[in-house]
Amino acid sequence: MRRERLTGTRLAGERGFTLLELLVVVVMVGVMALVGFSLARVARGKADEVACMGNMRQIGVAMQLYANDTGAYPETAHTASLENAWIYQLEDYLGDFDETRVCPADPNAAERLAQKGTSYVLNSYVFVPTTDAFGNAVGEAMNRPALLEDMTQTLLAFCCSDEVPAGPGNDHTHSARWTSWSAVTADIAPDRHMGKRSNYLYADGRVESRTAAEVRKKIESGENIAVPVGYES
């Protein structure tokens, strides 16, 4: 009859949890919390990747509109004034300009916003004229759609490396130096999204997600992904 007397919500005489049972519960709660955190991080990472891809698509459209109006893509700070670096030449062609010019996964996004920079850098093969040993231009930039032999295979823009300073003058790569992986990662972030891949804007407006492993394999095999089809040095 003793077990039929109620004390609170437990029958009198019932034992409580053992230490082992409590430890099992604590471990299970910890595992569930860890799994939930990991899933939330993956979801956030994927959302940032999609947002970045959307930014680059908008930039690609803006570039084509700008080229239709002016006959050429915008100039980089290499040939334009710092305050007129390429992303600002597109400002009137972009909707939410500040949101579009920075990648949400860029750890330096706030600083780039404050210093009038961008998370995206342009391919120097297309946008920067060839120079001689003294830095004098010996050729024109290829930043005109009519000069590109194959727009579907010509890269225009990349997610910039964390090493790239935040100011507007740091808006283009040094792609001719991409003979090593360290030279590539000094300019761009091939692992911008979840430490595995990044987005790439092509001249036809297409944006592709490519893994860092894929890009590294090409670079280390001697293939420079930034070289436009038909480019002659």
15 Cα distance to chain centroid:
57
Query: pTM for the full model?
Result: 0.80
Closest CA to 66 of 55, 53, 75, 57: 75
Q: Cα–Cα distance between 41 and 47 in angstroms, integer? A: 10
Cβ atoms of 170 and 146 within 8 Å: the answer is no
Structure tokens at 32: 């569930």
**Nearest-angstrom CA–CA distance, 233 and 224:** 13
State the DSSP H helix or E strand holding residue 48, giving kind and residue range, or none if neither. helix 19-70
Which is nearest to 48 in space by CA: 110, 121, 107? 107
CA distance 66 to 198: 25
Angle (CA) 111-103-226 rounded to 5° is 110
Q: Say which amino acid occupies 2.
A: R
pLDDT of residue 4: 46
pLDDT digits (tens, 9 = 90+) for 156-186: 999 999 999 999 889 999 999 999 999 999 9
Domain boundaries, the chain: 18-220
In tens, the pLDDT along 43-63 reads: 677 899 999 999 999 999 999
pLDDT, tens only, 88-140? 999 999 989 999 999 999 999 999 999 999 999 999 999 987 766 665 666 66
